[in-house]
């Protein structure tokens, strides 16, 4: 086992940081600490960067583990894309436009915005939204205004659930399904009845009621791995960060001289090492954080284990022909939630059936289906896609497979806000990051990037270092 030198920060030119975890939070923290002039090593247990947002090969196809989208209001993730030179590869639609297909009535509606100021930007779309009655549309408008008036800083909001608040504000089951859950399930990874009012209010206020363009949707036109692994690695290399993959940290402890020892044991891929650091950012999921955090770093470390997780399931279907003209749509009255055209991003045209199309069906809050066998999912979803997409009825299915992420996000249940720790721990020089930490955002790429910025910012401030090119809004 090798060990790095143990000189004090005064004797060394630059203070040393070790970031554990190469998801978006860890990559961000590493970039930000390097931009702030620190000597940074990033350690990631897997053979790639990107954490929960990654790609893999299936034959010639490049597959994302799950469809990821972001909104124009995700300013930190947009900063991240810019920082890794990836903005042009994950553009945002010019104006919010979501096709919403009612499977039972076979009717298409659209959630669109205009250039008018908030809340008028959505008024026309709501007024003509065919999936709700006139009374329901009026009530939705009223509830949106009530939501706008909520104070996100009020901790009581986190204690109650969004579903009961919607019912109290006159929302019918249909309005919840056709509007509130349509957006909420995809962004929160929970139905309204199981989501914290605080997090739901944050999503709807920020996305739909802050700025006319806030909810315009962006998504990668290339595999996620090209952004979060390839381009991120390039940015880390040019920032001078040493990145070590297949390097799983097993312990973090305080040394006698007040520094940190980060231990990687010997294994099939690693010769083992102990790194000495002035600053450690632990950017791993909550359970791993619980196991690695030294005692006393948080007041009640065991509370991290109360932050539950929620699954997301993706069904991938390769057809022999084009069955969907839109880049994506969402469905009502169907088990299908959101469907995306993945043809270009996956490289299907170079390798698959000529003129074929690859769709990803993204199923959030998938507790009931996450462990179902592929055959059962195939039997349920292929006929359902045929019901929604007439062109799929005569099409041949070349491939059908499933990606299951059982711990895709933290569960946004009422009360979760009180369990999410801030970046700064009680142990000097030790910080936590991750989408699950106290960013105020649900478990998103935005939350992950914000958490990485907050951790780096706190570390740099403690050391009296300049903040480099840090994203300003997050800290
Ligand atoms: C299927 C799916 C769909 C999603 N859809 C969206 C979406 O549409 N929009 C959106 O914004 N977000 C979405 N998300 C959520 C988003 O992907 C995550 O919130 C975000 O990527 C989390 O990043 P993170 O860095 O906080 O954590 P992670 O990605 O979990 O990164 C933690 C990293 O730490 C590493 N690690 C763990 N233990 C150790 C150790 N001991 N030593 C070294 N390394 C370790 C892990 O290997 C991992 O790479 C989705 C997630 C999934 C799974």
pLDDT tens for each residue of 87-109:
999 999 999 999 999 999 999 99
Q: How many angstroms does the Cα of residue 260 sit away from the middle of ligand 1?
A: 25
Distance, in Å, from the CA atom of 362 to the CA atom of 411, rounded to the nearest integer, reads 17
Looking at residue 288, what is its pLDDT? 98
118-127, 358-367, 451-460: least confident range: 118-127
5-19, 214-228, 381-395, 408-422: least confident range: 5-19
Looking at residue 475, what is its pLDDT? 42
44 lines ligand 1 (CB under 6 A): yes
Q: How many angstroms does the Cα of residue 453 sit away from the middle of ligand 1?
A: 16
Looking at residue 270, what is its pLDDT? 72
Q: Do 408 and 309 contact (CB within 8 A), yes or no?
A: yes
Closest residue by Cα to atom 10, ligand 1, is 444
Closest residue by Cα to atom 2, ligand 1, is 66
Percent of the chain with pLDDT over 70: 96
pLDDT surpassing 70 at residue 135: yes
30 lines ligand 1 (CB under 6 A): no
Mean pLDDT computed over 363-371: 98
285 lines ligand 1 (CB under 6 A): yes
pLDDT surpassing 90 at residue 73: yes
CA dist 145 to 119, 140, 148, 204, 206, Å? Answer: 9, 9, 5, 11, 13
- Tell me the H-state helices in 65-209: 75-83, 123-127, 134-148, 156-159, 162-168, 173-175, 181-188, 197-208
pLDDT surpassing 70 at residue 180: yes
Looking at residue 113, what is its pLDDT? 95
pLDDT tens for each residue of 148-166:
999 999 999 999 999 999 9
pLDDT tier at 1 (50, 70, 90 boundaries)?
low
The tokens describing 470, both together, are 């840090």
The tokens describing 86, both together, are 């990836």
Q: What's the pTM?
A: 0.96
Average per-residue pLDDT in the chain?
A: 94
pLDDT surpassing 80 at residue 62: yes
Q: Do 319 and 352 contact (CB within 8 A), yes or no?
A: no
Indicate the top mutation candidate among 228, 287, 444, 450 to test ligand 1's pocket, ranked by most ligand atoms within 8 A of CB.
Answer: 444
Mean pLDDT computed over 39-68: 97
- The burial of 115, by beta-carbon neighbours within 10 Å (0-12 exposed, 13-18 middle, 19 or more buried), is given as exposed
Best CA proximity match to 222, nearest among 75, 54, 79: 54
Mean pLDDT computed over 245-268: 92
Looking at residue 335, what is its pLDDT? 97
443 lines ligand 1 (CB under 6 A): yes
Looking at residue 354, what is its pLDDT? 79
The DSSP 8-state label assigned to residue 419 in this structure reads G
pLDDT tens for each residue of 222-246:
999 999 999 999 999 999 999 999 9
pLDDT tens for each residue of 309-355:
999 999 999 999 999 999 999 999 999 999 999 999 999 987 667 78
453 vs 475, higher pLDDT: 453
Neighbours of 169 (CB within 10 A): 16
Computed from CA positions of residues 73, 235, 90, 435, in that sequence, does the dihedral angle turn out positive or negative?
Answer: negative
Mean pLDDT computed over 424-431: 97
Strand partners, 98: 111
Q: Do the bridges between strand 273-277 and strand 2-3 make them parallel or antiparallel, or are there none, so unpaired?
A: parallel
23 lines ligand 1 (CB under 6 A): yes
pLDDT tier at 11 (50, 70, 90 boundaries)?
low
Distance, in Å, from the CA atom of 19 to the CA atom of 429, rounded to the nearest integer, reads 12
**27 membership: H or E segment, kind and range:** helix 24-35
Looking at residue 352, what is its pLDDT? 65
Closest residue by Cα to atom 3, ligand 1, is 66
Looking at residue 429, what is its pLDDT? 97
CA dist 241 to 234, 369, 450, Å? Answer: 10, 40, 19
Looking at residue 349, what is its pLDDT? 82
**What b-and-e string marks burial along 86-108, b requiring 16 or more CB atoms within 10 Å of the CB?**
bbebbebbebbbbbbbbeeeeee
Strand partners, 338: 330, 362
Q: How many angstroms does the Cα of residue 278 sit away from the middle of ligand 1?
A: 25
Nearest-atom number in ligand 1 for the CA of 285 is 30
């Amino acid at each position: 086992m090798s060990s790095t030198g143990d000189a004090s920060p005064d004797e060394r030119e630059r203070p040393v940081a070790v970031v554990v975890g190469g998801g978006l939070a860890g990559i961000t923290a590493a970039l930000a600490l390097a931009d702030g002039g620190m000597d940074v090593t990033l350690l990631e247990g897997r053979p790639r960067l990107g954490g929960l947002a990654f790609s893999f090969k299936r034959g010639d196809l490049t597959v994302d583990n799950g469809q990821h989208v972001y909104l124009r209001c995700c300013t930190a993730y947009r900063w991240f894309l810019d920082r890794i030179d990836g903005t042009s590869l994950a553009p945002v639609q010019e104006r919010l436009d979501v096709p919403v297909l009612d499977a039972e009535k076979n009717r298409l509606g659209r959630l669109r915005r205009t250039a008018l100021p908030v809340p008028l930007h959505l008024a026309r779309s709501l007024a003509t939204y065919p999936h709700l009655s006139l009374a329901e549309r009026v009530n939705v408008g009223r509830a949106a205004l009530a939501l706008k008036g909520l104070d996100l800083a009020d901790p009581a909001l986190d204690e109650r659930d969004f579903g009961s608040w919607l019912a109290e504000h006159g929302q019918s089951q249909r309005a919840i399904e056709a509007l509130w859950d349509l957006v909420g399930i995809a962004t929160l990874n929970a139905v309204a009845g199981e989501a914290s009012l605080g997090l739901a209010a944050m999503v709807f206020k920020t996305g739909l009621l802050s700025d006319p363009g806030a909810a315009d949707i962006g998504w990668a036109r290339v595999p996620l791995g090209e952004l979060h692994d390839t381009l991120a690695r390039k940015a880390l290399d040019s920032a001078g960060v040493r990145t070590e993959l297949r390097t799983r940290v097993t312990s973090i402890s305080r040394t006698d001289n007040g520094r940190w020892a980060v231990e990687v044991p010997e294994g099939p891929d690693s010769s083992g090492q102990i790194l000495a650091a002035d600053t450690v950012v632990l950017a791993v999921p909550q359970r791993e954080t619980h196991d690695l955090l030294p005692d006393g770093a948080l007041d009640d470390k065991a509370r991290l284990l109360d932050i539950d997780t929620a699954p997301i399931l993706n069904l991938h279907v390769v057809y022999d022909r084009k069955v969907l003209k839109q880049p994506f749509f969402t469905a009502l009255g169907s088990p299908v939630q959101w469907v995306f055209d993945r043809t270009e991003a996956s490289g299907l045209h170079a390798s698959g059936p000529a003129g074929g199309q690859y769709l990803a069906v993204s199923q959030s809050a998938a507790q009931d289906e996450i462990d179902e066998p592929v055959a059962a999912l195939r039997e349920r979803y292929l006929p359902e896609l045929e019901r929604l997409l007439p062109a799929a009825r005569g099409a041949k299915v070349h491939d059908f497979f499933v990606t299951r992420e059982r711990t895709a996000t933290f569960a946004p249940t009422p009360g979760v806000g009180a369990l999410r720790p801030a970046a700064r721990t009680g142990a000097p020089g030790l910080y936590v990051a991750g989408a699950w930490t106290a960013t105020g955002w649900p478990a998103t790429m935005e939350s992950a990037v914000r958490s990485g910025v907050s951790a780096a910012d706190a570390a740099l401030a403690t050391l009296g270092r300049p903040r480099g090119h840090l994203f300003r809004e997050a800290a």
